[in-house]
Amino acid sequence: MRREPHEQGEAADDESDWVVAAYRADACYLWALLGRLGVPEHSIEDVVQEVFLVLHRKRDEFRGASSVRTWLHGIAVHTARRYRAKIDRRTHEPIADRELASDRPLEHELGARQALRQLDRVLASLPDDQREVFVLIEVAELAAPEVAELLGLKLNTVYSRLRLARARVQRSLHEEAPDER
């Protein structure tokens, strides 16, 4: 079966090229996404590889009803969930963001790293079901109906979890703000 290559139009001669094109387009993005989903920095590389192994293994199931990136979101969420089930994520240091540019001024770089550490602390305080919805909507910028489909949830459940997560994030940020003055 000839399948459409990655949504950005790379030509793919066979099934392996399709997966390689997806890897080239989305590996760095998934690295950061998995960190926000609670995978510790020391394990992200392995989990990214696992996501693409699952994509390769299940490539015949992809029907093109959604984009490859949307499908990768679903695989990443499920893979991160399985990984988190094996470890206590709260015992690890916050995840550094791999995509921080090194040519930025040091002050900006430090501010960005501090903001990411704060984000990781706040995300770590969320229950996993709320964290997944929050990250997919607020970080990955997926629409709520897409998240509902990806996670196999009713749309109202997605909105409820998002509302609860946003409230917790707001409280956490408000509680941390006086300490940083």
pTM for the model = 0.68
The pLDDT mean for the chain works out to 80
Number of separate domains in the chain: 1
CA distance linking residue 126 with residue 132, whole number of Å: 9
Supply the range of the domain harboring residue 103. 15-180
Task: Reply yes or no on whether the pLDDT at 5 is more than 50.
Answer: no
Pick from 46, 110, 103: which is nearest to 80 by CA? 46
Q: Does residue 45 lie within any of the structural domains?
A: yes
Pick from 75, 73, 86, 78: which is nearest to 43 by CA? 86
Q: Does residue 5 lie within any of the structural domains?
A: no
Q: Does residue 91 lie within any of the structural domains?
A: yes
Contacting residues for 100 by C-beta, under 8 A, at least 6 apart: 109, 112, 113, 116
Q: Which residues of 27-61 are buried (b: 16+ CB within 10 A; e: fewer)?
A: eebbbbbbbbbbbbbebbeebbebbbebbeeebee
Q: Does residue 4 lie within any of the structural domains?
A: no
In this prediction, residue 88 carries a pLDDT of 57
Least confident of 14-23, 75-84, 139-148: 14-23
Task: Reply yes or no on whether the pLDDT at 162 is more than 60.
Answer: yes
Backbone CA torsion sign across 115, 116, 120, 121: negative
Residue with tokens 């997560």: 165
CA distance linking residue 17 with residue 2, whole number of Å: 12
Distances in Å between the Cα of 49 and the Cα atoms of 19, 46, 80, 82, 155 are: 12, 5, 12, 14, 30
**Residue 45, phi then psi, degrees to nearest 5:** -55, -45
Q: Summarize the confidence of residues 123-138 as an average pLDDT.
A: 93
Q: What is the pLDDT of residues 46-83, one digit of tens each?
A: 999 999 999 999 888 888 777 888 889 999 999 999 88
Q: What is the pLDDT of residues 78-99, one digit of tens each?
A: 999 988 887 754 454 444 444 4
CATH of the domain at 161: 1.10.1740.10
Pick from 81, 113, 93, 80: which is nearest to 42 by CA? 93
